[in-house]
A and B are shown apart, each in its own frame.
Chain A
Amino acid sequence: MSLPRTLITAALMGGIALSSLPLTATAQEQNPAVTARQGQFQIMALNIGVLGQMARGNTDYDAETAQAAANNLLTMSQIDQRFHWVPGTDNESIEGTRALPAIWEEGSQVIAIWGRFGEGAAALAEVAGDGLDPMRASLGPVGAACGDCHDDYRAEE
């Protein structure tokens, strides 16, 4: 998972280069970077939901469906993040986002947490098709990565 981590580092550190891209928000319209990352998280939630409903026992476990959702999560974790995290798109600078400025501050753990999401997704994709129990056990660390990041880097609604 070192590749995506490097790419986020580039995204977070490379604000100067990126600021020339047409990604700045006006007061009225949603910032495209914000729209993109929120959409990304919606896709992640949708796929987590497929597995989560099986883990909760609300839907029957199906190996192929579980594998497909896990593969999607792994793919999401490999998307180059640099365009989603443009500096200045925190919730103190613009409307329409819950991203906290701490994401861009020194000592930020977002890159490490995103890396843990990727590692968790890879481990999940290994076993998601092997049965309910292994899938459920590997879903835990992925969910923990979601929560760890929301804990410190997403504002309350």
Chain B
Amino acid sequence: MRRLVRAIILLATIGASAGWVLTRPVHITDDEVAALTGDAAAGEAVFWAGGCASCHAAEDASGEARLILGGGQAFPSDFGTFRAPNISPDPTQGIGDWSLAQFLTAMQNGISPEGQHYYPAFPYTAYRLADRQDLADLFAFMQTLPASDQASLPHDVGFPFSIRRAVGLWNVLYLRDEFVVTSDLTEEEARGRYLSEALAHCGECHTPRGALGAVDRSRWLQGAPALTGRGTIPALTPDELDWSADEIAAYLNDGFTPTFDAAGGHMRSVIANLANLDEADRAAIAAYLGRLPPSDTAP
């Protein structure tokens, strides 16, 4: 932890001097998105695949309540406690007055309308890989959801992690524009890769993290310590997860393992999202998992 603090101070210092230009927030402009028209109906699937409700709806919300994105859920980490903000269409407490360009800048560059860096507890690191059309659809869908006037809660993050600019340098080090799995994939497997890597951010939980909390792409989906301390989040590589593709797809729908144990922990909320997708999409995710490089080999 001490080493981490020192590293962050270093990042912040560099960020404040030499790296100032490098870490400058990059905004997507209105002109760049002028050609995009969001389709709210198509955006619903993006919403469920992206898992927004898992973080931005109230803790343990179920059913219709998962569509109220008033925020408030807390995410404890080595760096402090982050809280998901209100992203409902409320114009004052939520993001109802945002433009599509501002939304895309947040989702893909991790930058707020005010030009501040978001913390990567918000998985813009994954959404960066998403198609802009999909995100425009998502934005249109989110505007159809109920507004919540609940105020966003502040993060509880101490110095030096409170320096958002340091995230700019973190982004330079860790933000990637390529998928992790780059082998030749069938159309179905590629769809599964898109859903898993760009939207559902499976890697945020199932991949171990290295220095500064970044996901270690060389150990992609090879399992990780549980967020709660004890135990592990299982590996999804085919050498470790010996379920058939049908069994994986069924688990992502009804939450039962092949021996009919019921999924728990954070996976439960992931399944509640994925159960809303077309069957073909869950099958695609299962097909993609079958193409993961086995554990202890680099992807």
Contacts and interface: CB of A to CB of B under 8 A. Distances in A.
Contacts of B226: 155-156
Nearest to B253: A56
A49 B264 CA distance: 17
A98 B232 CA distance: 12
Contacts, number: 61
B111 interface: no
A147 B263 contact: yes
B264 A154 contact: yes
B262 A147 contact: yes
A70 to B, nearest CB: 14
B264 A150 contact: yes
Name the prevailing secondary structure of the A interface residues. helix
A55 B262 contact: no
Contacts of B269: 151
Contact of A156 (B233, B255, B259, B261): B233
Contacts of A149: 264
A157 interface: yes
B264 A147 contact: yes
B268 interface: yes
A143 interface: yes
Contact of B268 (A45, A52, A56, A150): A150
B248 to A, nearest CB: 12
Nearest to A153: B264
A151 B266 CA distance: 7
Contacts of B261: 41, 45
Nearest to A55: B254
A48 B255 CA distance: 12
Contacts of A147: 255, 262-264, 268, 271
Given A52-B256, A91-B230, A147-B255, A156 B250 contact: no
A146 interface: yes
A46 B271 CA distance: 21
B260 A156 contact: no
Contact of A150 (B254, B260, B262): B262
Interface in A133-154: 143, 146-152, 154
Contacts of B264: 147, 149-152, 154, 156
Contact of A157 (B232, B254, B260): B232
Nearest to B230: A155
A150 B265 CA distance: 7
A143 B232 contact: no
B228 interface: yes
B268 to A, nearest CB: 5
B231 to A, nearest CB: 3
Nearest to A150: B264
B233 to A, nearest CB: 6
B234 A56 contact: no
B228 A156 contact: yes
A150 B271 CA distance: 13
A76 B259 CA distance: 18
Given A46-B260, A48-B260, A156 B254 contact: no
A72 to B, nearest CB: 13
A147 to B, nearest CB: 5
B262 A49 contact: no
Given A143-B254, A147-B268, A151-B265, A157 B259 contact: no
18 contacts: A41-B261, A45-B259, A45-B260, A48-B256, A49-B259, A56-B250, A91-B230, A98-B231, A143-B255, A143-B256, A146-B255, A147-B268, A152-B264, A154-B265, A155-B230, A155-B231, A156-B264, A156-B265
Q: 7 closest Cβ contacts across the A-B interface?
A: A150-B264, A156-B231, A146-B262, A49-B260, A156-B226, A45-B260, A151-B268
Interface of A: 41, 45-46, 48-49, 52, 55-56, 91, 98, 143, 146-152, 154-157
Given A56-B250, A151-B269, 14 more contacts: A48-B256, A48-B262, A49-B256, A55-B254, A56-B254, A91-B230, A143-B255, A146-B262, A147-B264, A148-B268, A151-B265, A155-B230, A156-B232, A156-B233
